[in-house]
Amino acid sequence: MSERILCVDDMADILALLQRFLESEGYEVVCAANGAQALDLASSERPDVILLDVMMPGLDGIEVCRRVKADPHLRSIPVILLTARGDDQDVIRGLDAGADDYVTKPFKREILAARVRSAVRVKRSYDAVAEINDRLRAEIAERKRMEFELARAHRLESVGQLAAGIAHEINTPSQYVSHNIRFLEEAFASVDGLLRAVDRLLETSKEGAVDRRRLEDLRSTAGEVDAPYLAREIPRAIRESREGLEHVERIVRAMKDFSGRDAQQKTRVDLDRAVENALLVCRHAWKDVAEVTTDFDPNLALVPCVPGELTEVILHLVLNASQAVADAAPGRAPGKGSIAIRTRPLPGWAEIRVEDNGTGIPEEIRSRIFDPFFTTREVGQGIGQGLTIAHAIVVTRHGGSIRFETEVGRGTTFIVRLPVPDSLACEQNDVVAGVSGPA
C-alpha cells in the first residue's frame, strides 16, 4: 500500500503540479484548497505526510499546523511547510508551531522528493514504535491481569489455609466444651434422680410422719450418686467450658478485626493488639514448631493505618518465620525454634521486629525477597506473594519501610517501620505521663 500525501494550497495550479509529481513518485495524493478542508481531510484520511502552504486565506498554514500538532490523533503526521523563498519569519513561526520540515517556493523536484521520502521514513518509524508500544501495553495489561489472578489465587489459598487452621483452633476448645456438656448432662441426670427422691419423701411427709419406704428409696438413690466426685468435677467442667468459649470468642474477635482488611479507611491502631490478633489467627502455623514471645513497648503511639492490612503484614511475617523455623528443625537440637516479636517507638516512626532462629536467607536470593511470585518453595507449596504483599502494604499504602537482617544458619529479622505523626506521638506520651492536654 502506497503512502498517502495530503497537499494543501489555495492555488489550483500548484495543487495540480504537486499531485502529478507525487503520483509519479508512487504516492497516493489527496488535495485541499484551504485550511478548514485540510483539517477535515487530515482527520478523515489520516495521511502519512502533509504538504502545507503557509500563505492561505482564512486559516493559514501556521494555524493549520498548530491545530494538527495539538490533536493527539494527528500530531504524529509529519508536516512540511511550503513557503516563499526568503520568508524566514514564516519558517520560524511554522517550526515553532510544530512543523517537521520546510521547502521554499519555487521548489526543486529532487529536493521536494527527498524531503517527502524523509518525512515518510519518520512516519514509518513512528508507526513502528507506536505498534510496538501497543503490543507492550497489551502485554503489560495481560501480565497485570495474570498477576492479579495469581495474587487472588494466593489470597484464596491463604484464606483456605487460615480457615483450616482456625477451624482446628476452634475445634479443640469446642470438643472439650462438648465433652463437658455431656458430662454435665449425665451429672444432672444423677442429681435429678436424687432430687426426685427427695421430692417424693417430702410429699409423703407432709403430716410429719416419715415414710420409711420413701426414706429407703432416698438412701438408695443417694448411694448411686458420687457426690464428692460431682462436687469436684462439675465446677471444673464449668470452668473449662467457660475458658474454651472465651478462647473461641478471642479467635472470632481477631477474625473480625482481620476481616476488615479490605476497608480503605485509615484509623489509629494499637500495634500490640494487631500483633496479638495475627498470632491468634495463625497459631496453627507456629504452635508446633516455635515458642513465640512478645515484647511490647508501653510508650508506643497509636499508628494511623488500615487495621486489617497491618494485621495482614504481621501475619505474613509470622508465617514466613514459622516456615523458616520449621525448615531449620532437622539441624537444630531437639525442641522448638523461637520467634520473637518486638515493638518500639522511634522519632517519627513505630517499629515492629519479627525475629526467628530459622535457616536465614542465602545471599544469592536476598535481592529478590520482595519480588512478585519469587519463591524457593516447591510447586504447590506457595507462589511467593506473602512478602510482596507485605512490602506493598507497608511501603506503597502506608509510606513506611520494610527490610531484613539475616545470617545463614542463625535466622532472620524483618524490620517494619510505619510513620507516626509527631502530634500523635506527643499525645500518646502525654497520656502515658499523665499529662492533660488543653481543652
Q: What pLDDT was estimated at residue 44?
A: 93
pLDDT band at 77 (very low <50, low <70, confident <90, very high): very high
- How far apart CA 48 and CA 121 sit, in angstroms, is 10
**CA dist., res. 431 & res. 433, Å (int):** 5
Residue 18 in this model has a pLDDT that exceeds 90: yes
pLDDT tens-place string over residues 212-249: 676 676 677 666 677 777 778 788 878 777 777 776 77
Overall average pLDDT of the 315-331 stretch:
87
Give the confidence band of 28 by pLDDT, cuts at 50, 70, 90: very high
The reported pLDDT for the residue numbered 438 is: 32
CA distances from 130 to 123, 125, 127 (A): 10, 8, 5
Choose between 60 and 90: higher pLDDT: 60
User: Of 82-86, 199-203, 343-347, which gets the smallest average pLDDT?
Assistant: 199-203
CATH of 4-107, one of 3.30.1330.60, 3.30.70.141, 3.40.50.2300, 3.40.50.800: 3.40.50.2300
pLDDT band at 274 (very low <50, low <70, confident <90, very high): confident
Longest CA–CA separation in the chain, Å? 144
Q: What is the pLDDT of residue 161?
A: 58
Residue 375 pLDDT class (50, 70, 90 cuts): low
pLDDT of residue 141: 85
Exposure string for 171-199, b = 16+ CB within 10 A, e = fewer: eebeeebeebeebbeebeebeeebeebee
pLDDT band per the 50, 70, 90 thresholds, residue 403: very high
| Mean pLDDT, all residues of the chain | 80
- Give Cβ neighbours of residue 238 (< 8 Å, ≥ 6 apart): 180, 184
Domain residue extents for the chain: 4-107, 150-259, 263-433
Question: ∠ at Cα 93 (90, 96), nearest 5°?
Answer: 150
Q: How confident is the model at residue 436 (pLDDT cuts 50, 70, 90)?
A: very low
Point out the least confidently predicted range of 8-22, 104-118, 187-201, 334-348.
187-201
- Which has more pLDDT, 116 or 427? 116
User: Can you tell me the mean pLDDT for 32-53?
Assistant: 94
Superfamily of the domain at 263-433: Histidine kinase-like ATPase, C-terminal domain (3.30.565.10)
Of residues 12 and 154, the one with the higher pLDDT is: 12
pLDDT digits (tens, 9 = 90+) for 138-175: 888 888 777 666 665 665 555 555 666 666 667 667 77
Domains 4-107 and 263-433 share a fold: no
